Structure 1
Amino acid sequence: MQKTLQNYIPAQAIPYVLNLLKHDDLVVKVKKERKTRHGDYRKLPNNKHQITINANLNSYRFLITLIHEIAHLEAFTKYGRFIKPHGKEWKQTFQHLMLPVLNPEVFPMELLPLLAKHFKNPKATSDTDTQLALALKQFDEPNDKHYVFQVPLGASFKLYNGKVFTKGQKRVKRIECVEVVSGKMYLFNPNAEVELLN
């Protein structure tokens, strides 16, 4: 596990994370990219616990995601199985587990104010925090992807599954986009990554 983690998280966080992972009944797996999530946690039928994390995440997003999932395990263990997945017990646990790594030895200085703001009330995914998502994206491998909020009004974009949409107006939190083939309107997270079409 230590050798695998060294490839994915900032070096200064490795001892702390290894200590968090000292659960005899916990399995951590690094997976190929999944488009709908960065990671997940689940209790297996054999009473073991499993965390999976996408291999394509940059080291800072990988660390945040890993601790997010460890927080599910810790909250489940401490408060029982009837808590909400991203309720107050999970939020408090996530905040507590993140605090030791929110420092300039682990994260770049430009991320720390955004992380501090985010962790006052962490959400189910850091992707819903537009400023933080954009700041984390700068550490990704270069690609041709854009966030939906960056796409000009009326411009077309393509999803990973090949479907093409035209960007419409912004609602309170989501952006209206019309699928070109069907004419159906969908609501997009502003931070969904898409391929801009000319």
Structure 2
Amino acid sequence: MTFLLMVISIIMVKYYLYQFQTLKVISLFDLIPVCSKELISELIKNENLSIKIVKSRKTKHGDFRSLKDGKFQITLNHIDNKFRFLITLIHELAHFKVSQSFKYRVNPHGIEWKKNYKHLMLPFLNNKIFPDDILKFLALHMVNPPATTDSDIDLVIALQKYEPNEDNKIFLFQVPFNDLFVFQENKSFIKLHKRRKRYICKNILTGRKFLFSPVARVKLNK
């Protein structure tokens, strides 16, 4: 038993060491559009800030936090879509700038953050960095930026064109009413009807109903 635990421990250590080394060699500048690199470099130089690339998380694209040692950290999901990655990076840099300007607590996505986000994004709003089909929706998005790009349906659809679709998923709004679809962990739902901007869908197994975003990524249940 002791020998088995030792073997498992060695395997786990090697696994996490491999993961660390894999993420360590990924450069922030490998994940953003070429023409944005100089602008980003200027924004982050000489700042008391670390930026870490992490495995993709289902619940968020990135986050910002202040650390106990007085430093600050941004974590960003490692994704292949350089345009989405850049938008998330600037979103989180706006949080950092707010933290430097306001020592008291402010609304995370309030007027202070919106003002900084707009200011930081402005130099990037050109077709040398973003393709036109993203740029037009991103410019509209920045008029009054919400807490997440996921709430901007037009922008999400535009960004999705630059995502690899290896799992053959589609948007929920593309699923016909009363058709079955699969969402996360092979849970089957039926699309019932629309309520304002979202769709009411029923879990086939439990019968419970849920509200779904129209741009939720799902698979048709064949």
| TM-score, structure 2 as length reference | 0.84
Tell which has more relative contact order, 1 or 2 (C-alpha 8 A, sep 6+): 1
Residue 69 (structure 1) aligned to one of 86, 92, 106: 92
Q: What residue in structure 2 maps to residue 43 of structure 1?
A: 66
- Structure 1 runs of 4+ with >6 Å offset: none
TM-superposition CA deviations, 1:123-173 (whole Å, max 9, x none)? 111111111100110011123111222221112222222222111211112
- Tell me which structure has the larger Cα radius of gyration: 2
SS of 2:123 mapped into structure 1? helix
Which stretches in structure 2 are left out of the alignment for 5+ residues? Answer: 1-23
Counterpart Cα distance in 2 of 1:67 and 1:48: 18
Residue type at the aligned position of 1:183: G
Counterpart Cα distance in 1 of 2:43 and 2:155: 24
Question: Are the counterparts in 1 of residues 55 and 78 from structure 2 also a CA contact under 8 Å?
Answer: yes
Q: What residue in structure 2 maps to residue 99 of structure 1?
A: 122
Question: Are the counterparts in 2 of residues 41 and 50 from structure 1 also a CA contact under 8 Å?
Answer: yes
Q: What residue in structure 1 maps to residue 203 of structure 2?
A: 179
Q: Does 1:124 align with 2:150?
A: no
Which stretches in structure 1 are left out of the alignment for 5+ residues? Answer: none
Counterpart Cα distance in 2 of 1:169 and 1:57: 33
Question: Are the counterparts in 2 of residues 5 and 14 from structure 1 also a CA contact under 8 Å?
Answer: no
Q: In the superposition, relative to structure 1, how do residues 77 and 170 fare at CA in structure 2: closer, same or farther (>3 Å)?
A: same
Q: Does 1:26 align with 2:49?
A: yes
Q: What residue in structure 1 maps to residue 77 of structure 2?
A: 54
SS of 1:37 mapped into structure 2? coil
Higher helix share: 2
Q: Does 1:197 align with 2:221?
A: yes
Question: Are the counterparts in 2 of residues 67 and 97 from structure 1 also a CA contact under 8 Å?
Answer: yes
Q: In the superposition, relative to structure 1, how do residues 178 and 170 fare at CA in structure 2: closer, same or farther (>3 Å)?
A: same
Counterpart Cα distance in 1 of 2:215 and 2:93: 24
| TM-score, structure 1 as length reference | 0.93
Residue 107 (structure 2) aligned to one of 75, 84, 104: 84
Residue type at the aligned position of 2:211: L
Counterpart Cα distance in 1 of 2:103 and 2:185: 38
